Structure 1
Amino acid sequence: MTLDSFIGNADAVKALKGMVSTGCIPHAMMLYENDGCGAIALVQAFLSTLFADEHKVGGLIHPDVHYVYPVASGSKVSEKTDNLRSELFLPYWRDLVRENPYALEQEVSSAFGIEGKQTVINNAQAREILETVFLSSVEGGYKAVVVYLPEKMNAAAANKLLKAVEEPPEKTLFLMVTHAPEKVIQTISSRCQMIRVLPNSREEIAAVLESVFGKSHEVALRVASFAGGSVGQALSGMGESEEAEAQKALFGRLMDSVTSRDLYAVMECGDAMAALSSREKQKAFCKFAGECLRKIFLIQQGLGDMAALSADESAYYSSLAGKLKKSFPRLAIGCLDRAVMLIDRNVNQKILFSEMVGRIYYNS
């Protein structure tokens, strides 16, 4: 995939094409996306165009392109924390991104065998980057370091990298992909050119599903309607129907309990959320519930067509929209966003979700 064949985010693609054609490329760029919206795919397309070698970049085998991502000791790589490096996980990263450059954060953790673990870009990885960037390029052109989720870089690693990001060797690029730019250490983010990778339209998601992943037009359009602008979410929804059904059932229980004013049942829903098997699944549920609440909000505002609902879904969400206050979706989404933040901070899950569902109940 090159920039010429990339689907979606036309403004970002135009800007990156201009950089390649003029040679005026910032030495550090940070692409901000919602999970699964295609920032890694866009980085790969940019590098394929810049290096004029789609085969090597697309296959993640170009000797002058290096990848860094947060890791932890797990079932596939067992190592002391101080020795953990991205290089140890490279075969799993390579297989995942080749197959699906729109992969979700939780799918990366699953591919690495570190589901539910607290991941980090540590000092050992910072040393690995510095050893890489100060070597001569193998093919005589640019060198690139792709950093996935720099918000998970600890302070020691950031301080070690600061000088290299600020004043890298000639023809060395840092390309960072973040889901939470506000959490990236400020001394790093302030040295980067920010590029927003926007959520995709329904038509763009369908086109990616058809052209890149070979899905039928009818299936692609149907799934795209419920993906929240994320190709990764669309693919996840197609491949994980059992988990998606469990999320729908839990959200339905929560809404039934809220609308019937049954506080005990609401608290039981909080217990069910706390009992989910990993932090990634807890965050995935919060994001799913937020998307459901967005649909309720659109119906309450008379914008139901924008929610792209099937007939059955329209009846269900319309019923909820009539029972809930118009302020409820906005306030409840705020509770869910706060829960995601606290999950990342490793707050006790039983307390976290009990408080969250309590806030949702009293805001209804």
Structure 2
Amino acid sequence: MNFKDIPAHENVKRQLRDMVADGRVPHALLLHGPAGSGKFMLARVFAQYLHCEHPTSDGEPCGTCPACIQHQTFNHVDTLFVYPVVKTEKLKEPVSDDYIEEFRDFITSSPYMDFDKWASSFEKKNAQPIIYVYESAGLERRLAVSATASKYKIVIMWLPEKMNEQAANKLLKLIEEPYPGTIFILVSNDASAILPTIKSRCRPVEVTRLDDATVAEYLTRRLAMDPQDAMASAHIAGGDINAALRTVDATSVSRMFFDYFVQLMRLAYQRDVKGLKQWSADITSMGREQEVKFYEY
């Protein structure tokens, strides 16, 4: 991924490039703004740009050096991801690495980082993922080891506002007294919920909401939607691509349920027993969650 692959936010991209060009990369950076605006993608590309061995003249990662290839598969040895997770019976002291494969899949399927989708991916229902103190303790051990493949060891933390108090206090110490060559990139949907002492030690970069046209273009390109329908969904979403995608999904599900309902009425009217049995089998094959939604519909 390159900066140019991320819609909008040209001012933020310029700021990030200028930090590198001026040799003034802060040891703690806070990308903050509304959900669904693409902040995490900006963080990922910035980390790749910092590690890239042959950045292009127009301020992009080259995409072909070993560092870039490792970033594209989320396997760069000097890039650490921190994100909210869930305690289970088997994982009493969970850390991000316990869920790294699931997180890689999530980043790929939901590049705009839909937190609700991430929370629902855990087996524990109604889970409220947070960043626990065990994370900060483990992070300190890992950062004590110098970068091995590049100049910087980069920590990308998604949703620092989800840290519990103990984790936040430990992170504060790491930011106040950073290990040499360490860069923290915090990606927040709600900067006001971050511990003020942490926020004050980060260089803030605001990422504003996307305009409706940008969201609509994304929906049209990704889902092959009719431009007029895409614009209507974008307007409802208020600049949040994740909300726009949920709107489209809800509309599609409602249409599907309506079609099934009409089919049921026709089969019942015709007293088509064979057809009714097949209809019942089709509903059952949806899976329990969708089946319940249908009967609620």
**TM-score, reference length from structure 1:** 0.61
- Please tell me whether the aligned partners of residues 6 and 45 of structure 1 are also in contact (alpha carbons under 8 angstroms): no
Check conservation: 2:159, 2:187, Cα contact below 8 A. yes
Is 2:177 the partner of 1:163? no
SS across alignment from 2:186: strand
Post-superposition offset of 1:71? 1.5
Amino acid across the alignment from 1:198: T
Superposition deviation, residue 228 in structure 1: 0.7
Go from structure 1 to structure 2 and tell me whether the alpha carbon gap of 1:131 and 1:223 turns closer, same or farther (over 3 Å shift). Answer: same
Q: 2:72 aligns with which of 58, 63, 69?
A: 58
Report the alpha carbon displacement of residue 230 of structure 1 after superposing the two structures with TM. Answer: 1.0
Q: Distance in 1 between matches of 2:209 and 2:79?
A: 26
Distance 1:184 1:114, change over 3 A: farther
Secondary structure of 1:159's aligned partner: helix
Letter matched to residue 230 of structure 1: D
In the alignment, which residue of structure 1 is the partner of 2:8? 8
Deviations 1:288-333 (A, max 9, x none): xxxxxxxxxxxxxxxxxxxxxxxxxxxxxxxxxxxxxxxxxxxxxx
* 2:224 equivalent in structure 1: 215
**What does the per-residue CA deviation read over 1:138-160, in whole Å, with 9 as the maximum and x for residues that have no partner?**
21321111111111212222222
Secondary structure of the 1:7 match is coil
Asked if the contact 2:6–2:38 (Cα under 8 Å) also holds between the matched residues in 1, the reply is: no
1:285-304 → structure 2 map (5 Å cutoff): none
Unaligned runs of 5+ in 2: 53-66, 256-288, 290-297
Q: Which one has more relative contact order, counting CA pairs under 8 Å at least 6 apart?
A: 2
Gaps of 5+ in 1: 246-276, 278-364
Q: Secondary structure at the match of 1:112?
A: coil
Instruction: Return the index of the structure with the highest Cα Rg.
Output: 2
Query: Is 1:79 matched with 2:88?
Result: no
Paired residue for 2:285? Answer: none
Q: Rate the CA distance shift 1:226–1:135 in 2: closer, same or farther, 3 A.
A: same
Matched, 1:89 2:99: yes
Aligned residues: 241
Query: Are residues 1:135 and 2:145 paired?
Result: yes
Alpha-carbon offset, residue 231 of structure 1:
1.4
Specify which structure has the higher proportion of helix: 1
Structure 1 runs (4+) greater than 6 angstroms displaced: 242-245
Aligned-residue CA RMSD in angstroms? 2.4
- Flag the 1:208–1:78 CA change in 2: closer, same or farther, 3 A: farther
Matches within 5 A, 1:20-35: 20-35=20-35
SS in 2 for 1:96: helix
Alignment of 1:192 onto 2:205: no
State the alpha-carbon separation in 1 of the partners of residues 28 and 199 from structure 2.
9
